[in-house]
């Protein structure tokens, strides 16, 4: 099953500690090696992005930054046996933040991606 993990946190004033970056790199290697990590990347500040919305029949484009207190920091796409397994990999990722970046706070959300198997083919 495929899962998208989104990391959300306040955009930090200083770069993350090198130890954390090293731990994240090792974790990424482990997960790739195990055949479960399909893709991952950090996300640039929302100042470099934009938001398109449809409201009351109007399409609007607004440049970043977005006003939210938390931004999307990174994403990871996993191919695992089930939710417990993606939770395990994500727990390791969050524990590394907890242990190697004092005072850091943030949250990771796990979303299952629908696959072709979720949709019945047309019955025609």
Q: Which of 32, 50, 60, 62 is the binder for other proteins (CB under 8 A)?
A: 32
Cα–Cα distance measured from residue 28 to residue 42, given in angstroms and rounded to the nearest whole number: 12
Q: Taking contact as CB under 8 A, which single stretch among the options 9-17, 46-54, 65-73, 88-96 is the one that binds other proteins?
A: 88-96
Give the E-state strand segments of 11-85 in sequence order: 37-42, 50-55, 58-63, 71-79
Contact flag: residue 102 with other proteins (CB under 8 A): no
Piece in contact with other proteins (CB under 8 A), picked from 12-20, 32-40, 55-63, 67-75: 32-40
Name the nearest CA neighbour of 91 among 10, 11, 27. 27
Most distant pair of Cα atoms in the chain: their distance: 59
**Interface residues with other proteins (CB under 8 A)?**
2, 32-36, 38, 79, 81, 84-85, 87-89, 92, 95, 115-117, 119-123
């Amino acid at each position: 099953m495929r899962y998208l993990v989104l990391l959300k946190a306040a955009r930090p004033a200083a770069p993350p500690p090198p130890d954390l970056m090293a731990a994240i790199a090792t974790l990424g290697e482990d997960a790739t090696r195990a055949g479960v990590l399909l893709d991952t990347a950090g996300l640039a500040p929302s100042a470099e992005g934009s938001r398109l919305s449809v409201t009351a029949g109007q399409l609007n484009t607004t440049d970043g930054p977005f006003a939210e207190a938390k931004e999307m920091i990174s994403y990871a796409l996993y191919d695992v046996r089930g939710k417990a397994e993606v939770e395990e990999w994500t727990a390791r990722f969050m524990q590394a933040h907890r242990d190697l970046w004092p005072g850091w706070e943030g949250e990771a959300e796990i979303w299952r991606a629908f696959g072709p198997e979720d949709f019945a083919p047309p019955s025609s």
